[in-house]
Amino acid sequence: MKVSVIGTGNVGSTLAFVLTLKNIIDELVLVGRSKQSVLGDVLDLRHGQLFVNTPAQVTAGTISDTAGSDVIAVCASVPTPKNMSSRLELAQGNVQLMKELMPELARMSPDCKIVMVSNPVDVLVHYALEFGGFRPNQVIGTGTLVDSSRFRQLLAEELRIHSEDIRAYILGEHGDSQFPAMSCADVGGETLDATPGRYALFERASRAGFEVLKHKGCTNYAVALAAAEIIECIANDSKHTLPVSLRVDGFLGVDDVCLSLPAVVGRNGIERVLHPRLDEKEQAAFLHSANVVREVIASSAPEKEDH
């Protein structure tokens, strides 16, 4: 299993560290602005290989060194604006970045699975598919996986039940228009009532990333663990169901944008997209998310080059 991580800022370097602990990869290639810029991380990770069960070969590389990757995790991003209030503020710069990266990554590893971590993730999953010419199953965004994890953790504290035993998804955009799919939330087969208190927990979960950003200037641990979970599902063909950003396959008439839906993730990437039974309010929220992302896709489209 060869994994390449593109972009070794706070998230990329944390993801690289988590991957070396997972014992699922043979080769890890870190790609930054230059080989020199990632050498510190590479050496630091190599120095710790004695303490992991299955040492991986960790190298600093360029895009050409990613050739033959099974998975490529994209964490590269333009700088985050100070006091950023919406991930959509990164759209223009990061779409341009994907335009530069994706064709070459696709040429080097045409059968790889792309795990998109950079934001706005739904918009970038769309453009990764467009610029790279990948099949829809090949590109997976972390999407609302972390949002759902945050929500389940808050519910677990209220219910005094392990978060792993709670089935509760946040779906739609990884952003302001996301929503909790309370109509299909349950624990042990018992429906979780959609109380005002639980909607308040959703609001807390939804803004939690910005809370972390305010206190430490970045978010890295949870999203790196989420990305590593996706990669582990691919490596082990786990076929776990995860709420991830993907090309919507006609659900509620939507087929032109990328949003988070529960999907079975395995060796082939997106193995199957699940269609949860949403109530009318949730269906409207999903369609609203689609409109939000659709507008950003249109407004951040790179200008066509004259020939």
Rounded distance, CA 94 to CA 116, Å? Answer: 12
CA-wise closest residue to 2 among 101, 62, 73, 50: 73
Looking at 126, 174, 240, 288, which residue is catalytic? 174
Secondary structure (3-state) at 29? strand
The reply to whether 174 belongs to the active site is: yes
Could you tell me the sign of the dihedral formed by the alpha carbons of 220, 221, 227, 228, in that order?
positive
DSSP sequence for 189-227 = TEE----HHHHHHHHHHHHHHHHHHHHHS---HHHHHHH
Rounded distance, CA 195 to CA 251, Å? Answer: 27
Rounded distance, CA 259 to CA 121, Å? Answer: 9
DSSP 8-state code for residue 172: B
Which active-site residues does the annotation give?
Answer: 174
